[in-house]
A and B are shown apart, each in its own frame.
Chain A
């Protein structure tokens, strides 16, 4: 029988860690949290237990999905390790709440914390451009959610640019991938005008990436307005609460983002008719005005003619009043001597030949006597 090696304590710790690293580089363990505590806002310590055993865990707050507390059922991925002074523990890489009760509890704790920070305030919500020119789409490229969204978007509207990042939307990698995708789209030189983060429905476990602190904060921090659409019927995920806008399903997200082509064509037809009606009305007003002006012109012209006729008649009467023939008709006579009118009795001599014009003829006479008025 070979002789067993004798280690120093430090050697034993080193050899055991080597063995552990070789055999269990990475383990996932499910259990109930006990003795949860956070030190200096940074270091997290807790135990996982079941009916038969208890294992210690150690990590940082950055690896937590959100606030945790004793009694919650979680699955922890980590590296088992024997510490030189503090004994055996598992160094935490990721913690995932497990089972509906724990998932809800974790979400409720995180919701309370983020609500207190104001992440879900209505005042933070920004309007989405309508319709946007460019959409950033984060979802699994293999999913029905992706196909539904693209189908509805293309059926409803055109001229869009859709930039898609294929990201897992469930399972452990989902959180990191969704966060990276949000950051990547925000960093694009030609950034989209709206980010759509979507997936279809699923169990509480399937959807839990959308209620993690990292995804919720990434949605809230996006400089590009966000639309989160998770297909489910009951509780909203925290990412939806943090989004600028939420939709019930991927198809509903597409419907909210762009107008329907047929409805817009109908509106355009209505606008075409309105334009025709308005210009027709304006022309009718102009025609009525022109008609009224024509009538006024006609009236003024008639008035001028009537006045002119009256004027002529008046002058005729005046002229008639001054006609010498009229005086002869009334019994007056006109006397001429040598062709010139005789205006004074004193200009006539006895024996002068006179022509006396009367109504109806002329008399010739010789002056027998001139009697002058004294």
Chain B
């Protein structure tokens, strides 16, 4: 596995962290509101990514050796 993540994975993990942070009992109100706004923006970005991202298709041709005549 490569260490680099897809944009979707990175955004999704960030959202999970925000929901987790928001659920902590000692989170301050100002912080909670800021986390909420950040979380909602992430949800929107993820939705956009899921709906709009396009898949690209590339083709590689191999020069296969023909059966050797000997």
Binding site for B on A (CB under 8 A): 25-26, 77, 79, 93, 126-127, 129, 131-133, 141, 150, 153-154, 157-167, 172-173, 176-177, 180-181, 184-185, 188, 193, 225, 261, 264-265, 268, 271-272, 274-276, 278-279, 282-283, 286
Contacts and interface: CB of A to CB of B under 8 A. Distances in A.
A165 B62 contact: yes
Contact of A163 (B8, B18, B53, B60): B60
B70 interface: yes
Contacts of B1: 126-127, 129, 193, 225
Interface in B19-70: 19, 22-23, 27, 29, 32-33, 35-36, 39-40, 43, 46-47, 49-62, 64-65, 67-70
A279 B35 contact: yes
B13 interface: no
A185 B60 CA distance: 9
Contacts of A193: 1-2
A181 B54 CA distance: 25
Interface of B: 1-2, 4, 6-9, 15, 18-19, 22-23, 27, 29, 32-33, 35-36, 39-40, 43, 46-47, 49-62, 64-65, 67-70
B29 A282 contact: yes
Contacts of B53: 158-159
Contacts of A283: 29, 32-33
28 contacts: A127-B1, A129-B1, A129-B6, A133-B4, A154-B55, A157-B50, A158-B49, A159-B49, A162-B55, A162-B58, A165-B61, A166-B61, A166-B62, A184-B62, A188-B60, A261-B50, A261-B51, A265-B47, A268-B43, A271-B19, A272-B40, A275-B18, A275-B22, A275-B40, A276-B36, A278-B19, A279-B35, A286-B29
A163 B59 CA distance: 6
Contacts of A272: 40, 43
Contact of A161 (B18, B33, B51, B56): B56
B50 A93 contact: no
Given A264-B50, A272-B43, A279-B33, A165 B8 contact: no
Nearest to A290: B29
B29 A161 contact: no
Contacts of A286: 29
B55 A181 contact: no
Contacts of B58: 161-164
Contact of A265 (B9, B33, B35, B51): B51
A26 B69 contact: yes
Contacts of A261: 50-51
A184 B1 CA distance: 18
Contact of A177 (B32, B54, B64, B69): B64
Nearest to B31: A282
A161 B69 CA distance: 38
Contact of B23 (A126, A157, A278): A278
B48 to A, nearest CB: 10
A162 B6 contact: no
A167 B61 CA distance: 9
B50 A158 contact: yes
A283 B38 CA distance: 17
Given A127-B1, A164-B57, A282 B50 contact: no
Contacts of B59: 141, 163-166
Nearest to A173: B64
A68 to B, nearest CB: 21
